[in-house]
Structure formats: structure tokens, C-alpha cells
């Protein structure tokens, strides 16, 4: 567990966003599940230094979001023990951004959408992925 | 002792024109565990959305899925309009509803035809697709293309409807409605249809919400959720009420879609009758900045766009959550316990769109 959010984080101009710490994530998600909320999806945004991870839920047609900001090498706890259906979104995040997710109920090992031939996560913006892909960063 | 077999259902299968595989564990004729395999044709459209100028993305997102291309274009435009702080003219909002509902109508008719084909009712399949052709002709006459009609633009719509086109559209829809009414007794009461769909792939409302199910599949489980109730575009002025069934089985899903065909025709009729005069486009200025989330009701269910602008002509992020991505996990609960012969019908009952899934 590193710094959960940095001072440069801009609060998003969308409603009902709750910024949460990594260790509180499952507790918040379980609370949403107990309220009967429907899981929508997860959005990962690479802001260069960190990942902003939004968990989107629906409650009677109103959106609720949890926002977690994590370092790129940190490990996210899977929410699939609470919302089974989140395995699609978590595997997608793992494939496309290389976010490490621990405890996935159905784990495609980073190969749900992309093939073995792709050496690095394609949606990642940091230069280190370019280095890995081309060898010299070009 | 039961014999265990692993059955690869897809990626090439007669009832699945698009590539997805369900790895199904059979115990004799009964289904045990099911695992989906995706990624056969993943296109990286979210990534491409970061590289295009934001107005060009309208054409890109329309190609996520042909069958609901108007809905993808609409959702993306609504999200970018929110970032730019512009409102489309009222006439554009009504025209957006007209084309979005025509897309829903041809999508539902396409699904009904495929369902009939999946259980071998070929004459019903052909009758339904004959009606669908009338809708495709209307789309071609009014928007210049059958499937990807590209009517949405940031700030409104690209095309207007003339009085003659409106009159022809109303006439075609009346004919379409008449022919559908004639088919309805077969669609809802025929022995074959009921035998192959009733009691199959049951999902309770509690299960549906827990599994994140959307669209007609959710409404067939008794949950009255339809994003059109939120009143985006002109839906707030058309007296929209969601169609809900309680059965939670494949039959209930078929009934919801059949009833929605008639509702769609009525919505187009109302939108054309109330169509305001005026411009069809508010010219966008500047570049998008900030974050916006928009949800609309695509034919298969909730479609979400999360768009992040950074003040340049390129978007920082374009996240698209399509309805099939939400409905696939439900198959993992609907299929186990069912019989081998019911796999095609249960799988089709969520109206899987692999184009959507493989953005």
C-alpha cells in the first residue's frame, strides 16, 4: 500500500464520486452490494504516474462511483468475491493496462483480450512500456 | 456415473455468426461449468479513440457495432457535448430519437429472426426478416445507408427529414406494425416457440441485479430499468414507460423484445408528430476538457461512455462499456443445469454482440 492519492489529483467533474483508500475498497464495495447496487464496470485511467481506477455502480438508475488512485506497481484487491460479474472488467484492466489484480475468480493471466505476441499492456502510457516493446524506446 | 465432456461452443458455430467461445463442461446431457473465451477479434477501439481528433471519433464509435451504431454515435456525442457545454437544438434531439428507435426496431427484429432460426423455425425467421427489410429501406432512404447511418454529429445531427420523408416513414411503420401484429400470435403463442423458450435460462430479479445484467434481459426478470426513463435526447417529452416481464426466462426475454418493437414504432410516431422546427446542429467550438459519463439505452441494454478531455483535440481516455460485456457473466449462471440442446437458445437470449464485446 503506497500513497493512495497525490496532491496533483484533480477531482473529477462527475457526481457521486467517493475517493477511497485501497484497504477500504472491499468494505465500500460490500456496502454497495448490501444496498442492492448493480455493478456496471471499472474504468482505469493512466495519468502518467499513477492509475486512477473508477468503480461504477447503479442504484435505481443513479450512478455511484468509487475512485482509487494507486501506484503502477501496486496490487489491487479483486472485487469478484463480492461481485462475481466484475471478472470481465478486472481482466480487461489487467490486459490493457497491466494493473495487477489479486484474488480474481476467473483469471485469464493478462490474456483475455490480447495475445501472447503483445509484450506490454497497450493502453499504458508510461515510457517504460515503450521501452519493453521496442527495446530502445523508439 | 455421468460422463464428463468439455464442449467448445464456438468460436465458429451456426448460431454465433461472430467469434466467442464458451467452454462448456457437460455431464451426460447436462451443463456443468461454463467459461467464456473472448479476444478473437479485439480491435483496440478505446485506444484508437485517444489518437483521433475528437470529432472523428463519431465515425469510429459507430463502427464498434453496426446494429446499434446510431446509439454509439449518440452516446459519444452526448458525452462530448457535455464537456464542451453545448446543447443540440430541439429538432436534433427528436431526430436522434427517431433514428435510435429505428435501430432498436431492426435490432430486435434481427434478434427475433435469429432466435427462430436457432430453434429451426425457418419460416418465422424469414417472415420477421421480411418486416425488418422495410425498416432497413427506411433507414437507407432517410440516412443514405442501411446499417451505419452516421446521422449523429457533435452538437446535433447531420441530416434533416423532409415532409415527404416523414410521411413515407409513417406509412412504412404503419405497414410494419400491421405485419408484425399478424405475426404476433405465432411469435408469442406457437407451440414450438414456447416449448423451446419457456422455463429456459431462468434469471430471478435478485440474480439479474447481482450479475450486473442490463437491457431486455434485465427487464424480463422484472426489473423496471431502462435508461430512456432518464429522458436524454427527447425521451423525456415522449411519455416513455419501460416494458417489463416477470418470467425471467428466454420466453420473457422474447416477449420484452416483441413488445418493445411496437413501443418503438409508437415512439417514432410520437417523435415525428411532435418534431419541432428549427436548426439541426449547434456548431461545436473549442476542445473538450474534463470528465463526463453518459449512459444511454442501446437495443441490448445500458451503453456507457466515460470520456476524458484534456483541452486538446485528442481525448485523454474514451471508455466504452457495451451491454454484451454486462450480460456475458449471466450466461455462467443461466447455462449450468440446463440441457445440452438448450445452449443455443439460452446463449442467444442475451442477444450477444461480439462486435460490441471486442471493441
pLDDT of B249-307, one tens digit each?
A: 999 999 999 999 999 999 999 999 999 999 999 999 889 988 999 999 999 999 999 99
List the helix and strand counts (H, then E) for chain A.
3, 6
Q: What are chain B's domains?
A: 44-353 (1.10.645.10)
C-alpha cell at B136: 432497413
Instruction: Report the distance separating Cα B14 and Cα B256, nearest Å.
Output: 25
Q: Are B250 and B242 in contact (CB under 8 A)?
A: no
Q: Choose the weakest-confidence range: A123-132, B52-61, B242-251, B313-322.
A: A123-132
* pLDDT band, very low/low/confident/very high, at A3 (cuts 50, 70, 90): very low
Q: Which helix (H) or strand (E) holds B124?
A: helix B122-143
**Whole-number mean pLDDT of chain B?**
91
pLDDT(A78) > 70: yes
pLDDT(B128) > 70: yes
Q: Is A63 exposed, middle or buried (0-12, 13-18, 19+ CB in 10 A)?
A: middle
Q: Do A12 and B291 touch (CB under 8 A)?
A: yes
Q: Which residues of B have a CB under 8 Å from any CB of A?
A: 35, 38-39, 42, 44, 46-47, 209-213, 225, 227, 229-230, 290-293, 295, 302, 304, 306, 308, 316-317, 319, 321, 325-326, 328-330, 332, 358
pTM score, two decimals? 0.91
Q: Tell the CATH superfamily of the A17-125 domain.
A: NADH:ubiquinone oxidoreductase Nqo5 subunit (3.30.460.80)
Q: Are B268 and B169 in contact (CB under 8 A)?
A: yes
Angle, helix B90-118 to helix B250-273, in steps of 10 degrees:
150
Sequence spans of domains, chain A: 17-125
Mutation target among B211, B293, B316 for the A interface, most CBs of A within 10 A: B293
Q: Is A127 exposed, middle or buried (0-12, 13-18, 19+ CB in 10 A)?
A: exposed
pLDDT at residue A137, rounded to an integer: 34
Q: Which residues of A have a CB under 8 Å from any CB of B?
A: 12-14, 33, 36, 38-41, 43, 45, 54, 56, 58, 60-61, 63, 83-89, 95-96, 106, 111-115, 122-123
Amino acid at each position: 500500500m503506497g500513497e493512495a492519492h497525490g496532491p496533483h489529483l484533480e477531482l473529477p467533474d462527475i457526481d457521486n464520486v467517493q475517493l477511497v483508500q485501497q484497504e477500504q475498497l472491499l468494505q465500500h464495495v460490500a456496502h454497495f452490494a448490501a444496498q442492492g447496487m448493480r455493478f456496471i464496470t471499472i474504468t482505469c485511467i493512466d495519468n502518467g504516474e499513477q492509475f486512477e481506477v473508477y468503480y461504477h455502480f447503479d442504484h435505481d438508475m443513479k450512478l455511484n462511483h468509487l475512485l482509487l488512485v494507486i501506484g503502477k506497481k501496486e496490487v489491487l484487491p479483486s472485487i469478484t468475491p463480492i461481485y462475481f460479474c466484475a471478472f470481465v472488467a478486472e481482466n480487461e484492466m489487467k490486459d490493457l493496462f497491466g494493473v495487477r489484480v489479486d484474488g480474481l475468480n476467473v483469471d485469464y493471466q493478462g490474456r483475455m483480450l490480447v495475445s501472447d505476441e503483445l509484450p506490454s499492456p497497450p493502453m499504458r502510457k508510461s515510457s517504460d512500456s515503450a521501452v519493453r516493446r521496442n527495446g530502445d524506446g523508439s | 456415473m455421468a460422463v464428463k465432456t468439455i464442449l467448445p461452443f464456438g468460436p465458429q458455430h451456426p448460431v454465433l455468426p461472430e467469434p466467442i467461445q464458451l467452454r462448456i463442461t457437460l455431464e451426460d446431457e447436462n451443463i456443468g461449468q461454463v467459461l467464456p473465451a473472448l479476444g478473437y477479434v479485439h480491435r483496440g477501439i478505446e485506444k484508437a479513440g485517444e489518437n483521433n481528433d475528437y470529432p472523428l471519433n463519431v465515425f469510429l464509435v459507430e463502427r464498434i457495432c453496426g446494429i446499434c451504431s446510431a446509439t454509439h454515435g449518440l452516446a459519444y456525442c452526448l458525452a462530448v457535448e457535455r464537456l464542451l457545454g453545448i446543447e443540440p437544438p430541439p429538432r436534433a434531439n427528436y431526430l436522434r430519437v427517431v433514428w435510435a428507435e429505428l435501430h432498436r426496431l431492426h435490432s430486435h427484429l434481427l434478434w427475433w429472426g435469429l432466435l427462430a432460426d436457432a430453434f429451426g423455425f425457418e419460416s418465422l425467421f424469414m417472415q420477421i426478416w421480411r418486416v425488418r427489410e422495410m425498416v432497413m429501406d427506411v433507414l437507407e432512404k432517410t440516412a443514405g445507408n442501411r446499417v451505419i447511418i452516421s446521422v449523429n454529429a457533435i452538437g446535433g445531427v447531420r441530416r434533416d427529414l423532409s415532409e415527404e420523408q416523414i410521411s413515407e416513414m409513417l406509412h412504412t411503420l404503419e405497414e410494419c406494425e400491421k405485419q408484425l401484429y399478424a405475426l404476433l400470435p405465432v411469435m408469442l403463442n406457437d407451440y414450438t416457440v414456447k416449448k423451446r423458450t419457456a422455463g429456459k435460462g431462468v434469471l430471478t430479479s435478485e440474480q439479474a441485479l447481482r450479475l450486473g445484467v442490463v437491457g431486455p434481459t434485465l427487464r424480463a426478470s422484472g426489473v423496471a430499468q431502462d435508461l430512456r426513463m432518464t429522458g436524454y435526447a427527447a425521451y423525456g417529452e415522449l411519455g416513455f414507460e419501460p416494458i417489463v416481464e416477470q418470467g425471467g426466462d428466454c420466453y420473457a426475454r422474447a416477449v420484452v423484445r416483441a413488445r418493445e418493437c411496437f413501443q418503438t414504432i409508437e415512439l417514432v410516431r410520437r417523435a415525428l408528430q411532435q418534431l419541432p422546427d428549427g436548426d439541426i446542429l449547434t456548431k461545436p467550438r473549442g476542445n473538450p476538457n474534463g470528465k463526463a459519463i453518459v449512459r444511454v439505452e442501446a437495443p441490448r441494454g445500458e451503453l456507457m461512455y466515460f470520456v476524458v478531455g484534456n483541452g486538446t483535440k485528442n481525448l485523454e481516455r474514451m471508455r466504452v462499456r457495451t451491454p454484451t460485456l454486462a450480460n456475458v457473466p449471466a450466461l455462467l449462471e443461466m447455462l449450468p443445469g440446463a440441457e445440452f440442446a438448450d445452449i443455443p437458445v439460452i446463449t442467444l437470449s442475451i442477444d450477444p454482440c461480439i462486435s460490441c464485446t471486442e471493441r
